Amino acid sequence: MPRTVLTGSTLEPEAFVLLIARHERRIRGFIATLLPFDRDAVDDLIQTTYLVAWRKLAEFRYERETPDEEAVRWIIAIARFETFSHMRANKKHRYAELDEQLLGQIADVQSEDWGRFDARWRAFGSCVQKLEGSQREVIRLRYGLGLSLDEIGQRYGKLPNTIAARLSRIRRALEKCIGTSLQNEGYCR
């Protein structure tokens, strides 16, 4: 039986740990692109992805001077497989009815255009910090904690449609700020 010869450099376990620490936001962002409103599943899948990559670490080889980009793409390929497996196994998931080919195209765009996604994420963080404290709190309650408009309205003594209008204004302000920031960095809208 012929023996397979592996070429390229290997990645040491310590380097792997540093690499995932350095690029976790990118890998997490990739999974979150496919499961945007399921933080628990994203957390589980990132751990599963790292575990699978750890177990297959001896198989990974890189050709460039540093392993970062090749390793991240390899880990994202694992994350893609694990995420699709999760979605097939969880038919109750709201995105399970989406065509897997379409999700694959979304995943491809996200992984190939990371620079734009990363710039958008940085701009988003910067723009959120520019909001007034009460605006940031409404964003945190709605999107961070997942509270309904009714629940937020009860906290502020406001009607749900008032909260919805406020969120709409905040989103428009964020969109404008992010667009300006991306243009300043050389990205077209």
Do 18 and 63 have their domain in common?
yes
Q: Encode pLDDT of 49-75 as tens digits.
A: 999 999 999 888 888 777 788 888 889
167 vs 143: CA distance, rounded Å:
10
50 vs 16: CA distance, rounded Å:
10
Name 49's Cβ contacts closer than 8 Å, sequence gap at least 6: 27, 31, 75, 78, 79, 82
CA atoms within 13 A on the CB side of 127: 20
Q: Encode pLDDT of 131-148 as tens digits.
A: 999 999 998 888 777 788
Q: Tokens 């893609």 map to which residue?
A: 80
Q: What is the mean pLDDT of residues 154-177?
A: 93
Instruction: Residue 129: give the domain boundaries.
Output: 117-184
Do 73 and 126 have their domain in common?
no
Q: Is the pLDDT of residue 18 over 50?
A: yes
Alpha helices in the chain (DSSP H): 13-34, 39-55, 68-89, 100-112, 114-130, 133-139, 149-156, 160-184
Q: What percent of the chain has pLDDT over 90?
A: 30
Name 94's Cβ contacts closer than 8 Å, sequence gap at least 6: 37
Do 94 and 171 have their domain in common?
no
Q: What is the mean pLDDT of the chain?
A: 82
The pLDDT score that the predictor gives to residue 31 is 86
Do 108 and 19 have their domain in common?
yes
Do 76 and 163 have their domain in common?
no
87 vs 164: CA distance, rounded Å:
30
Do 98 and 130 have their domain in common?
no
Do 25 and 84 have their domain in common?
yes
Q: What is the mean pLDDT of residues 7-28?
A: 84
Q: Is residue 149 part of a domain?
A: yes
Q: Is the pLDDT of residue 99 over 50?
A: yes
Q: Is the pLDDT of residue 6 over 60?
A: no
Q: What is the mean pLDDT of residues 154-158?
A: 94
What's the structural domain count of the chain? 2
